[in-house]
Amino acid sequence: MTTRNQIVTGIIAGALAGTALGLLVAPKTGKETRELVASRGSAIKNKAGDYFTIIRNRMKKGDEVESLNGASHAEEVSL
């Protein structure tokens, strides 16, 4: 029987392998690709930080924060 950890590990490994293969066959030079990855990575990092700040502020106010799977209480959340 496959466990959730094995599935998650497989998904992460597949994503990393796909990323590596994509970078190897990319039509751009290494310098251009590194600049592109750096700029997109920075944008994703900023956006994620904004989301965490919003969630943290809502939790401080006592607002109910809905999880990704729709559960509103910690005990209902399972990954």
Cα separation of 12 and 18, whole Å?
A: 10
The model's pTM is 0.40
Backbone angles phi and psi of 2, in degrees to 5: -85, 130
Which tokens sit at 75?
A: 């005990």
Per residue in 27-45, pLDDT tens? 878 788 888 888 888 888 8
Per residue in 51-75, pLDDT tens? 888 888 887 776 555 555 555 554 4
Determine the number of helices (DSSP H) and then strands (DSSP E) in the chain: 2, 0
